[in-house]
Copies of this chain bind each other. A is one copy, B any other.
Amino acid sequence: MTLTVTDLTIARGGLPVLAGLSFAVSKGQALILRGPNGAGKTTLLRTIAGLQEPIGGAISGAEDQIAYAAHADGLKAMLSVRENLEFWAEVFGQDGVDAAIKTFNLTELGDRLAGTLSAGQKRRLGLARLLVTGRPIWVLDEPTVSLDVASVALFADAVRGHLATGGMALIATHIDLGLEDAQVFDVGPFAATMDTPRGASDEAFL
């Protein structure tokens, strides 16, 4: 089982942002996406998660395999930490809520309403959600925003654990996560130029 991206072109707001992307992630591997602000990392991850269509190229192996986590954590402020996780566990037909809570050091916060957490605590809860999806491919957009150093380490451990059980991870980030054997993929060189028209909608008008 491999996630393969071949000659992918993606667009945002009617214009292509990245073109000609190809990479593959296989079992137990992590791929770190890098690139300056506005390069198109978020767009790429949303495309891979199936939330938007690519305008060219192909993605294989992603169908129903992906757990996506973006800036917005999808937390309900009026449900407790545990209830939030239980909901997602049930949607994905999994259990393991307790393990997830433990992994991200949320034990003491279990009965707090998610709305009363600090920025970093919310983020930890958002990441704990990944563990209850049971999905093999984690697609993460700047997962460590607001996390302190200890929590970043927790997160890195969680990713290592996931990889060790045959999972994969695709992570866009600006900081160093301390994942030693992760490949790094810089999207910078693939920025779409004037002459990569591939059918993004604005191009009909250029």
9-residue interface stretch from A22-30, A82-90, A117-125:
A117-125
Asked if B174 and A37 sit within 8 Å, CB to CB, the answer is no
Asked if B174 and A38 sit within 8 Å, CB to CB, the answer is no
Asked if A117 and B38 sit within 8 Å, CB to CB, the answer is yes
9-residue interface stretch from A48-56, A92-100, A145-153, A156-164:
A145-153
Asked if B120 and A148 sit within 8 Å, CB to CB, the answer is no
Instruction: Please give the number of chain A residues whose Cβ is less than 8 angstroms from any Cβ of chain B in the complex.
Output: 26
Beyond A37-B147, A146-B145, A148-B36, whether A119 also contacts B175 by CB under 8 A is no
Does A201 count as interface, using CB distance less than 8 angstroms?
no
How many copies the complex holds: the figure is 2
Which secondary structure dominates chain A's binding surface?
Answer: loop
Asked if B118 and A37 sit within 8 Å, CB to CB, the answer is yes
A61 to chain B, nearest CB (A): 27
Pick the contact of A71 from B42, B119, B124 — CB < 8 Å? B119
Asked if A37 and B148 sit within 8 Å, CB to CB, the answer is yes
Chain B residues, CB < 8 A from A142: 119, 146
Asked if B174 and A36 sit within 8 Å, CB to CB, the answer is no
Q: What is A's interface to B at a CB cutoff of 8 Å?
A: 13, 35-39, 42, 71, 116-121, 123-124, 142, 145-151, 174-175
Known: A36-B120, A38-B118. 12 other contacts (CB 8 A): A36-B151, A37-B119, A37-B120, A38-B117, A38-B120, A38-B121, A42-B119, A120-B174, A142-B146, A147-B174, A149-B174, A175-B175
